[in-house]
Structure 1
């Protein structure tokens, strides 16, 4: 029950607090980590709730007893529910179905993305031409700039984009795309997208995917520009317009462009020391709290000294009889 309450609270109240936090926009990389930790923590809590309910009849109880130095009977008593084994059976069935759905959905997403990128690379080999500045040019009057992650990574400019961008703007947009490739933002989007497709009726995962899609663009903006260059990058975003891009590609435009332009033209927020470490610690807490809740009964069982069995070596040799030594030999219940 505590794990399910935590999952509900984190998925509603936690998501609301994170969505309204201003520091997320000021530090987009930390915001990505926070959204990933929150969504992963909810999934972990639900999985551990099912395992905790089913622990009395799972082989895992023997391993847990050995690791903690407690009796298996004591471990079972601490995890047993008034309804018997049925909560564990139902929980395992539901969790197995959800886990299978998540694995299948993630596999389909990865295959679709890989296929789309492979087709795009094959097309670029036929119609693209290399540019001396390290990107590929495609003849198209529509101004588009995007990158294809995976492998060495490929940045693509259309001829229309080269016509409307100045050299400084072109370098900034190129730095934006390289920021995507270095940080592997595609992995964060695949992770959040798989959760959204697997559980489409849960608002948390849809909200996390939308925010992460915006934050990866802001993080790439920060990687490409600083100081006066931020306004030049904003002018490049306005010049490129909506910036439609192919499937499975990451682009400089097309995602929250207006919000990003306002952010780039506003005075940059002052950097706060230790923010990254604080967010990292928060992510560790979010991921470890469900584990701590799930292990709390087992730790309490292990702390009960009255249920421990003494090993043969713990009995004083002068006072131990053969029958006492035999009775006090270690055993697994």
Structure 2
């Protein structure tokens, strides 16, 4: 069984058909958290296909790599993975796939460094602009987080992730929103922090930047930017009501969180979605969709291990 072409074909199918299916799925807006899981599984499956293909071509190109890869493997396993490639072609393929891996690592590390630099800069700016409020004067907050209030007539709010997250709100938002609406607004930003949406956004941005011609990564970035906002909306709505969350969005519809930016055109749709209150999917369907998403990750692994398992039988 020649597993390398099978992995590349699977990668192509996942990269081309997967985004189209997810982008057109009607259940995505009803279950944004599940949709985020599906997108992550799809991207991980594509990257797994590339990574496994790189390992196999490296084993075909260099005997030393094959010895390390199949060290201690039962008799016949190494032969089952032998690729019908001339060494120059195997070397070229391994180097090409390795370039993709290095490009991914460079993009991700650059995105992480940039995010850390911006976060530290914002933290220094916040420390200069506003001190932390005493516990008795600050709105309700969760343990371990800091609330920063900035003097600004514009109604703004955003989150600044880190070892001790900061929730930033302006005096304009405090004056314009009721207590319930303010709680919903802070819960929205708290949902971003607790779900580590900034990590997901950084990975999506890194992949899109590293591979600008890959539609799957471009769609991943655009869809993640939209879905994290819907997931945070749902987090706030479950705790403080859909109406209060929708009103808070309307009041702040001219500005967006620097941590998880959302296009202005999406705000009316998000408000309509909250007010419509579409029911969640049934538990059985959520389980089936979760299993399908995880199966996408398992498919490359199953395909890669199939020749070795067959050789041992």
Query: Shorter-chain-normalised TM-score: which range?
Result: 0.7 to 0.9
Matches within 5 A, 1:46-195: 46-56=50-60, 57-62=62-67, 65=70, 68-71=73-76, 75-76=78-79, 78-81=81-84, 83-129=85-131, 130=133, 132-133=138-139, 134=141, 135-195=147-207
Query: What TM-score, normalized to structure 1?
Result: 0.82
**Distance verdict in 2 for CA 1:132–1:252, change over 3 Å:** farther
Counterpart CA distance in 1 for 2:272 and 2:263 is 14
CA shift at 1:181, angstroms? 1.2
Task: Report Cα offsets for 1:123-147 as digits up to 9, x if no partner.
Answer: 1111114251142110112211100
Return the offset for 1:60.
5.0
Q: Is the 8 A contact 2:158 2:256 kept in 1?
A: no
Paired with 2:174 and 2:242, the residues of 1 have a C-alpha distance of: 19
1:4 touches 1:46 (CA, 8 Å); kept in 2? yes
Equivalent position of 1:45 in the other structure: 49
- The 3-state SS of whatever aligns with 1:155 is strand
1:206 aligns with 2:215: no
Query: What CA distance in whole angstroms lies between the structure 2 residues aligned with 1:113 and 1:9?
Result: 32
| Equivalent-residue separation in structure 1 for 2:171 and 2:216 (angstroms) | 40
Deviation at 1:274, TM superposition (A): 4.0
Query: How big is the shift at 1:64?
Result: 5.4
Deviations 1:43-64 (A, max 9, x none): 1112212322332334454455
Report the aligned-residue RMSD. 2.3
Offset of residue 88 of structure 1 = 2.3
Task: Give the C-alpha shift of residue 68 in structure 1.
Answer: 4.4
Unaligned runs of 5+ in 2: 142-146
TM-aligned CA distance change 1:139 to 1:232, over 3 Å: same
Unaligned runs of 5+ residues in structure 1 are 304-333
Find the residue that maps to 1:175 and give its secondary structure: helix
Cα contact 2:225–2:260 (8 A) shared by 1: no
Task: Give a deviation string over 1:275-297, Cα, whole Å, max 9, x none.
Answer: 55434422331112112212222
